Chain A
Amino acid sequence: MAVALILVLVALGSVIFHLVSPWWWTPIASNWQYIDNTIIITFWITGAVFVAVVLFMAYCVYRFRHQAGQQAHYEPENKRLEWWLTIVTGVGVAAMLTPGLFVWREFITVPDDATDIEIFGQQWQWSFRLPGPDGKLATSDARLISPDNPLGINKDDPKSKDDVVIEGGELHLPIGKPVKALLRSADVLHDFYVPELRAKMDMVPGQVSYIWFTPTRTGTFDVLCAELCGVGHPQMRGKLVIQEQKDYQAWLERQTSQGFARLAPSPVE
């Protein structure tokens, strides 16, 4: 009796917790509303299954608890019932998988008008590189990294002239413009993670990975590292500032002038 009651409490308690607890995802700031929708679908389906299974168990525990003179029903199997359950499960699984795969295709297909930017991780700070007026990033290689070239940019590449490098600071992005973030790492695995963007991806030394997104909300967001990268992992923080186009432009110009000022004394190779 008590066991059945506690099982019911576990099922209902979980649902109530889900509905009333203050802990829920952060308001989204990118175009990945689809991901949130897929999660909601999954919550509905899995939640229904969980409650159904636990309540059914509770019922069985109560109704078929041992009593004097009682004997269990003998029934080795019931093929029809088992096949039905299998098919229903298959349908439920397909209902979660299909939207998931569609959204995934979207997730990995970068729109043509996306601007390339670079996000660069190293123990334990973030750096960023914006393409400047030409809209293109220069090539790079970890072997070119040096104190005056912290991102290992290929200076022989003409596209490198106007690239804007932001070390350890904030990344600003304009609202409403799709961005393709190219992800690189100098040393170990990192993961560019802004909870409000939903999208995240590991940065792997020796290769370039990517994500794309369109910021949809202005504001300042925490950039975290989501892949264990050594003892400084939790301290590896940055800021993502999403601004209106004109504020962004003003910021970018400031960065460009600062960048040139810093680059000017160094000898040109």
Chain B
Amino acid sequence: MASILLFLSLLALIGAWWLSRQGLASKPWLEQGATAALPPADDTPTPASKVALWILLAVIGSFFALFISAYSMRMQLPDWRAVPVPTILWLNTGMLALSSVALHGARNAARRGEMTDLRWGLVAAGVAALAFLSGQLVAWQQLTGEGYRLAANPASDFFYVLTGLHGLHLLGGLVWLGGTIQKAWRTSDTGSLRLPVDLCATYWHFLLFVWLIVLSILTGWAGEFIDICRQILT
């Protein structure tokens, strides 16, 4: 359960830092009047949806951290046989990165107010993400073809489950992205698109990050890395 505890400690640190700025040691019964305790008027308060997205990312993060915990516990049992990583995963990783970069471009375009760049950035991101998903399906097919079926071995079970759940999260993001693209084609006002595109970009970067972690675990690099750390420590 190390990875989930690590992840939650990170969240706890962020939470503690945030709480430390909320005056938890103040004595509220001594403060009267609204203004005494009001923060200085903020011109641009963080939009609620942005806060919600970050919390959602924490939830999804703990979801994957738990899976990784389960993976590392199951991996130590003797019947584990590592699965060869299909080469197409590297291409897929490139596609997902490309998708993330395109969205980042769209986000910048929205800030600069360039509608054309914004539209094409969104579309490119969508296409690259779809390419990633189809690539993942091809990877599944290849593995099945090589005999690494579901239920053949826990390592392959985890391969399908982890890639599948990551794909589902991306699919959910694509629905959202689809809505944004539709909106981008209907309006010419980039201002109204800034927030949704921003949220998409954050979500995409996060999923790319999760994918890199998952990939490092499926390839066994994470395990090697941890072993090296252990050797240095001992």
Residues from chain B with Cβ under 8 Å of A77 in the complex: 27
The majority secondary structure among interface residues of chain A is loop
A76 is an interface residue with CB less than 8 A from chain B: yes
Residues from chain A with Cβ under 8 Å of B29 in the complex: 76
CB-CB contacts of B29-71 with A at 8 A, as 1s and 0s?
1000000000000000000000000000000000000000000
CB-CB contacts of A81-93 with B at 8 A, as 1s and 0s?
0000000000000
Q: Which residue of A lies closest to B79 (CB)?
A: A206
Tell me, in angstroms, the Cα distance from A229 to B90 when the chains sit together.
46
Tell me, in angstroms, the Cα distance from A77 to B29 when the chains sit together.
10
Residues from chain A with Cβ under 8 Å of B27 in the complex: 76-77
Q: Which residue of B lies closest to A76 (CB)?
A: B29
CB-CB contacts of A59-79 with B at 8 A, as 1s and 0s?
000000000000000001100
Residues from chain B with Cβ under 8 Å of A76 in the complex: 27, 29
Q: Which residue of A lies closest to B27 (CB)?
A: A76
User: What's the least CB distance linking A77 to chain B, in Å?
Assistant: 8
User: What's the least CB distance linking A254 to chain B, in Å?
Assistant: 39
Please provide the chain B residues from 10 to 27 with a CB less than 8 Å away from any CB of chain A in the complex: 27
CB-CB contacts of B98-133 with A at 8 A, as 1s and 0s?
000000000000000000000000000000000000
CB-CB contacts of B60-103 with A at 8 A, as 1s and 0s?
00000000000000000000000000000000000000000000
Tell me, in angstroms, the Cα distance from A76 to B27 when the chains sit together.
9
Tell me, in angstroms, the Cα distance from A76 to B31 when the chains sit together.
13
User: What's the least CB distance linking B227 to chain A, in Å?
Assistant: 24
User: What's the least CB distance linking A53 to chain B, in Å?
Assistant: 26
Q: Which residue of B lies closest to A207 (CB)?
A: B77
User: What's the least CB distance linking B77 to chain A, in Å?
Assistant: 8
Q: Which residue of B lies closest to A75 (CB)?
A: B29
Q: Which residue of A lies closest to B30 (CB)?
A: A76
Tell me, in angstroms, the Cα distance from A77 to B28 when the chains sit together.
11
Tell me, in angstroms, the Cα distance from A76 to B29 when the chains sit together.
7
Tell me, in angstroms, the Cα distance from A91 to B27 when the chains sit together.
28
Please provide the chain B residues from 140 to 189 with a CB less than 8 Å away from any CB of chain A in the complex: none
CB-CB contacts of A34-78 with B at 8 A, as 1s and 0s?
000000000000000000000000000000000000000000110
Tell me, in angstroms, the Cα distance from A77 to B27 when the chains sit together.
10
Tell me, in angstroms, the Cα distance from A12 to B116 when the chains sit together.
80
User: What's the least CB distance linking A72 to chain B, in Å?
Assistant: 14
User: What's the least CB distance linking A81 to chain B, in Å?
Assistant: 16
User: What's the least CB distance linking A209 to chain B, in Å?
Assistant: 16
Tell me, in angstroms, the Cα distance from A112 to B43 when the chains sit together.
73
Q: Which residue of B lies closest to A206 (CB)?
A: B77
Q: Which residue of B lies closest to A74 (CB)?
A: B29
User: What's the least CB distance linking B25 to chain A, in Å?
Assistant: 12
User: What's the least CB distance linking B44 to chain A, in Å?
Assistant: 36
User: What's the least CB distance linking A83 to chain B, in Å?
Assistant: 15
Tell me, in angstroms, the Cα distance from A77 to B25 when the chains sit together.
13
User: What's the least CB distance linking A148 to chain B, in Å?
Assistant: 26
User: What's the least CB distance linking A205 to chain B, in Å?
Assistant: 13
**A-B contacts, 3 listed (Cβ < 8 Å):** A76-B27, A76-B29, A77-B27
Give A residues with C-beta under 8 Å from B.
76-77
The 3 closest A-B pairs by CB, nearest first: A76-B29, A76-B27, A77-B27
